[in-house]
Amino acid sequence: MKQQRQGGFLISKIHQLSQRIFARILKDHRLEEFNPAQGRVMFVLWQKDTIPIHELVEKTQYSKSTLTSMLDNLEKAGFIKRVPSKEDRREILITLTEKNRLLEDKYIDVSREMGKLFYNKFNDEEIDDFENYLERILENLIEFNEKSNK
């Protein structure tokens, strides 16, 4: 009898545990201003500030309704602001505030700490292979999602 694969189950467990650990590390670093899910949004904006919502949806893989709710909370807290695009008045851009920029370095330190936890006992080649496999899994899921949403 063929062994049942456990990749999805393991990814789910890793996700749950890593979210709890990440939240604890954020708290230890006194970065309780936003949660790990909101941190994903911030991370994307730190890579490229002032982007349209549809691009943020694509980069975070959050649904538009989930992301809109998160952006509402982040805007109320003063971390982001919505600004109209100068090129297309129908488009709203998400941009960082100065308050957010002050937290970026601290948040990146926390992310590095999580990376060390994730990759403890891995060499560079193993990390590269692992991340390539994860990217392929993500591509498979995105492709399926796009097909099923048509």
pLDDT band at 144 (very low <50, low <70, confident <90, very high): very high
- Which residues form the domain of 81? 12-119
Q: Write the CA distances from 102 to 29, 46, 108, 114, integer angstroms.
A: 14, 11, 11, 20
One domain for residues 36 and 108: yes
| 64 alpha carbon, distance to own chain's centre | 14
| pTM for this prediction | 0.72
CATH number of the domain at 30, please. Answer: 1.10.10.10
One domain for residues 86 and 135: no
pLDDT tens sequence across 72-90 = 999 999 999 999 988 888 8
7 domain residue, yes or no: no
132 domain residue, yes or no: yes
Residue 76 CA to residue 96 CA, distance in Å, equals 13
pLDDT band at 104 (very low <50, low <70, confident <90, very high): confident
Contact 88, 127 (CB under 8 A): no
The pLDDT, as a whole number, for residue 118 is 94
Say which residue the tokens 């602001």 belong to.
81
